[in-house]
Amino acid sequence: MSILSEQTKKSIGKNVIIFLNNGWKYSGKITNADDVYVEILRDQEYTSARYKIIKYDDIKDIDIMLD
């Protein structure tokens, strides 16, 4: 288990900004995490809330808000 996945699992329910290797970023609330993926409920930038599931291999950096 990596530090990234370990810290993400401890932070379920917290707000996060995830930066991907390809330059994209996503923000929202962590709703679930395992050793391979993290799931976030994205901020409502669209008309309805959406879940995004991201593989840790695609993540460059994560900012976890301490609230």
- Main-chain phi, psi angles of 56, to 5 degrees: -55, -35
Per residue in 13-53, pLDDT (tens digit) is: 999 999 999 999 999 999 999 999 999 999 876 667 789 99
Structural domains counted in the chain = 1
Which runs of E-coded beta strand occur in the chain? 15-20, 25-33, 37-42, 51-55, 59-64
pTM, rounded to two decimals: 0.87
- pLDDT at residue 6 in the model: 94
Q: What is the dihedral of CA 35, 30, 19, 46, to 10 degrees?
A: 130
Domain of residue 54 covers 3-64
36: CATH: 2.30.30.100
